[in-house]
Amino acid sequence: MYGRRKAKPIGFSNRKHFVGLHYIVDIDGIRNELITNNDKLIELCDASLEIGEVTILNKMIHHFEPHGLTLLYLLSESHFSVHTWPEHNKIRIDFFSCDSNEHRCNCVISHLKNEFIGAEFNSKMLKR
């Protein structure tokens, strides 16, 4: 077919200059008394972001019945979101910071990891 270009595969930039850090966090096997306690989870996320010295501009919370949570933070640095699946003892977190201060971002992730002792905690960081 003439006139059609082959599409480039979608990927991330290999350039040395990046505009932000993107953390993808999967937490599995969370004990029941924590995964079903939305107030404790919110406090834990608030404390983690405070330790990382990020600026919270707004926070939205949605509680599901009988349990479950979606938590979104609008940050001056970008965003932090949390989704829980208590019936599967799982949490998924998405954290993007255009600040590119890896130490501060890692403080947030380390605090979270220390709070979920006994759970399977996996995180991946992408420079974007």
Positions marked active-site: 78, 83, 98
100 φ/ψ sector (left φ>0, alpha ψ -120 to 50, else beta): left
Beta bridge partners of 24: 94, 124
CB within 8 A of 53, min separation 6: which ones? 104, 107
Classify strands 78-85 and 69-75 as parallel, antiparallel or unpaired.
antiparallel
CB within 8 A of 105, min separation 6: which ones? 21, 23, 52, 95, 97, 99, 125
Q: Is residue 75 helix, strand or coil? A: strand
Q: What is the CA radius of gyration of the chain?
A: 17
